[in-house]
Amino acid sequence: MSTSLLYHGFGIRGYHYVKTTYQGGKVTFSIRQEREDLRCPVCESRRIVRRGFQLRCFRSLPIGCRPVQIRLDVPRVGCSDCGEVRQVRIDFADPRRSYTKAFERYVLELSRHMTIRDVAEHLQVGWDLVKDIQKRYLGRKFRHIKLKDLRRIAIDEISIGRGHRYLTVVLDLLSGAVVFVGEGKGADALKPFWKRLKRSRAKIEAVAMDMSPAYISAVQTHLSKAVIVFDHFHIIKLFNEKLSDLRRELYREATEQLHKNVLKGTRWLLLKNPENLDNTRDESKRLHEALTLNQPLATAYYLKEDLRRVWEQPDRSAAQRVLDDWIRRAECSGIRMLIRFAHTLAAHRSGILNYYRYRISTGPLEGTNTKIRVLQRKAYGFRDAEFFKLKIYALHETRYELVG
Ligand SMILES: [Zn+2]
């Protein structure tokens, strides 16, 4: 070992190598700082008086599987210029850290290929230390997320865990990156986002979201010039929920056992797209039976199929005809659930048809939400909310993505 190897191998420069000791499988390099290099850490003055030492140990790069630590008596100095008494500054480690910068870089490099647990085991350090290194790195990286170039965004909420915990996520639809994660759902969760967005002076053209009144009023307030596009997946999902409710209601009201039997177990058949029905299991036949017996169910079912067509038109005016026709038929159906749904669509008509101005949806957020749930299962979500958020921001960064 030498002073030169300390520098080239371990990133420690400006110190003198003293000795190496081996204990319990661990290698310790003792190093020393020269008296003439001492400065005041606050004002950089060289007019200082020595005030003893503070022994400190730093984890450093391992040699093979052997942990290595650096041992240094850090001089304390009193400054004649500013009057402070402090430990001198150390270049090879960040303040208050018990590991060197080279060690930190190595942990981050390993983290691109291994889980936190694997890195911790390999380096014989605690899980929390690896996590802290990742957290500090991600924190620096995502402290200021650039919002200036945002043009099209998707907003949606995601429920995580078994409790009723929600996160509100904003996605940049052009880059695919998560640009904001808010705690909770509804208008409050978005407040910090509007503040940051305003400061960035981004010019948002269009927003994809569901028909929730909280989002609508928030977007109208904070992005008065943006075009709202109601997400078609959410609309179809909402209709499917109403269709399931209707089937349940009809089942409850059905008096004959035969009638009940036919309705029973048709929920999934009703929700399936017709081209996906499995005829080896008589699914078309069973669905047909249920529809023949129940006029209201049949009406709702065929309207469900027609609803999808709103988003399959060549242009806005064709879509408008399909939508208006749908609304009229639903209103005339005499079925309460359909009439209500028709009113909902009529009230959100222009936002639905805006799909033909900006063909955007919250679809890209679905993939992100799946990844968020995977992260959450790895328990980040509960141990440290801030770390969990940073991990969500990092999802998109494949180049720097850190493995669980
Ligand atoms: Zn000073």
Per-residue pLDDT of the chain (404 residues; tens, 9 = 90+): 677 888 888 888 889 899 999 998 899 999 998 877 788 999 999 999 999 999 999 999 999 889 999 999 999 999 999 998 999 999 899 988 999 999 999 999 999 888 899 999 999 999 999 999 999 999 999 988 899 999 999 999 988 877 678 999 999 999 999 999 999 888 999 999 999 999 999 999 999 999 999 999 999 999 999 999 999 999 999 999 999 999 888 888 887 777 777 778 788 888 888 888 888 888 888 888 888 778 888 899 999 999 999 999 999 999 999 999 999 999 999 999 999 999 999 999 999 999 999 999 999 998 888 888 888 877 665 678 889 889 899 888 754 456 65
Q: Helices then strands (H, E): number in the chain?
A: 17, 10
What spacing in Å lies between the alpha carbon of 56 and ligand 1's midpoint?
22
- Find the distance separating the first CA and the last CA of the chain, reported in whole Å: 36
Whether the CB-CB separation of 392 and 404 falls below 8 Å is answered with no
What spacing in Å lies between the alpha carbon of 278 and ligand 1's midpoint?
80
Total count of residues recorded for the chain? 404
Task: Using alpha carbons, list the distances in angstroms from residue 160 to 182, 343, 364, 370, 377.
Answer: 13, 32, 18, 10, 9
Instruction: For tokens 């022994």, name the residue.
Output: 55
What spacing in Å lies between the alpha carbon of 30 and ligand 1's midpoint?
27
What spacing in Å lies between the alpha carbon of 42 and ligand 1's midpoint?
5
Whether the CB-CB separation of 341 and 242 falls below 8 Å is answered with yes
What spacing in Å lies between the alpha carbon of 166 and ligand 1's midpoint?
49
User: What is the number of alpha carbons within 13 Å of residue 132 lying toward its C-beta?
Assistant: 12
Q: What is the model's pTM? A: 0.80
**Long-range pairs of 183-191 with CB within 8 A, sequence gap ≥ 24:** 183/385, 185/157, 186/157, 186/212, 186/214, 187/214, 187/215, 187/217, 187/218, 189/157, 190/155, 190/215, 190/218
